[in-house]
Amino acid sequence: MKHFLPSMDALKVFESAARQLSFSLAAQELCLTKGAVSYRIRKLEADLDCALFRRSVRQVYLTNSGQELLQTTQRVFADLTRSIEQIKPHGAGHDVLIGVTTYVALRWLSPRLSGFGDANPQISILLQHAVNAEDFRIQDVDFAIRWCRMEGQNSRNRLLELPMPLFPVCSPGLLGRHVRYADASDLEVGEFSGSPLASIPLLCEDRAFDLWQTWYGQHQPLTNPRRIIADANVRTQAAIDGQGWTLADDLMRPELEAGALVAPFGHRLDGYGYAIQSAPGRFISRNALALRNWLIGQA
């Protein structure tokens, strides 16, 4: 099928000028003269038979057509870059991109990367922290470490599961405000909804991942007020500061051992944890495979 498209050079010049709203800055970025940039954009407008810029003495502005073309070219260039990165030979200098939250990166991944870096100094590692964002696509990273339900077995795309039972923690100061519970270390689940504990806020990631009722497991609903804090590190600090309960896992062990948080309930919620995952059908470079196998061995 024949495609009637402008040249790639013309689109690159347009994208640079449109992104910066400046022919001069585009010329500097692309190592061209300002006249060359202006010529190529005029030719592109002639080929498309529409104006892409409105020009004034000191500034250029995008027309509606220009804005639409800019969005399209940026999206296509990004997709093209990702495709080329996947199909080109992956030599020693290829970056490995991991999707992981800052919480897991700090508490689990980072201590394991130092040994890998010592043994493989030629491999660069990049971390994509927006792994929980709505627009995150696992196919855009070499692999991801994500919180999810445990399936109990590994698969081609779920390479390793790290079960992490959940349990409530809070600051000792917050618990100490209620004299009856100040020295508690193994409370019964049913006491969680009793006064005065029922008034303590529950810190949550968001409504969709609110596992408090699942942990509680009783028939009556929990009436504690909820506070939504998306970032797990911020949520942990909020608990340390006495703002409420948070559901912890074993990655929060340092705060428990230091006494910054206490876990007065022995009941744990099983069936959740972290999984090392990759996208179905994604090509795995030698470097990404080496790091992935290293982490699996460390786990």
pLDDT tens-digit map of 126-149: 888 887 777 788 888 888 999 989
Helix axes 64-87, 8-20, angle to 10 degrees: 120
Q: Give me the residues paired with residue 167 across strands.
A: 248
**Residues 35 and 56 occupy one common structural domain:** yes
Residue pair 273/160 in contact (Cβ under 8 Å)? The answer is no
pLDDT given at position 89? 55
Sign, CA dihedral 13-18-20-21, equals positive
pLDDT in tens, 66-95: 999 999 998 888 888 777 766 665 544 458
Amino acid at 242: G
Give the mean model confidence (pLDDT) for residues 101-105.
Answer: 92
* Res. 39: pLDDT tops 80: yes
Domain identity same for 67 and 14: yes
Q: Are residues 183 and 259 in the same domain?
A: yes
- 30: domain CATH number is 1.10.10.10
Q: What is the mean pLDDT of residues 33-43?
A: 92
Tokens of 36: 């060359």
Distance CA 77, CA 259 (A): 51
Q: Classify residue 2: in a domain, yes or no.
A: no
Of 46, 65, 87, which closes a domain? 87
Supply angle C-alpha 91, 93, 94, rounded to 5.
75
Residue 1 within a domain? no
Domain containing 146 equals 96-165+274-298
What's 186's domain CATH number? 3.40.190.10
What residues form DSSP beta bridges with 147? 274
The DSSP H or E segment spanning 41 is helix 34-48
pLDDT of residue 191: 83
Determine the pLDDT at residue 93: 47
Residue with tokens 């529950």: 202
Note whether 250 and 133 are same-domain residues.
Answer: no
Dihedral of the CA atoms 97, 98, 101, 106 (nearest 10)? -100
Question: Is residue 49 located within the same domain as residue 187?
Answer: no
Residues 132 and 148 sit within 8 Å (Cβ to Cβ): no
The structure tokens 């206490």 sit at 262
In this prediction, residues 193-208 reach a mean pLDDT of 84
Residue 211 lies in a domain: yes
- Distance CA(215)–CA(252), nearest Å, equals 17
State mean pLDDT over 146-166. 86
Residues 157 and 105 in one domain: yes
List pLDDT tens digits, range 224-265. 999 999 889 999 999 999 999 999 999 999 999 999 999 999
All residues at 6 or more sequence positions from 60 whose CB lies less than 8 Å from its CB, including other chains: 17, 21, 22, 23, 53, 54
Domains contained in the chain, number: 3
Same domain? 201 vs 232: yes
Residue 3 lies in a domain: no
Q: Pick the last residue of a domain from 39, 66, 87.
A: 87
Q: Report if residue 59 sits inside a domain.
A: yes
Say what the pLDDT of residue 242 is.
95
* Shared domain check, 115 and 78: no
Give me the pLDDT at residue 188, please: 85
pTM (2 d.p.)? 0.65
Domain final residue pick, 87, 119, 147: 87
Region 58-65 average pLDDT: 89
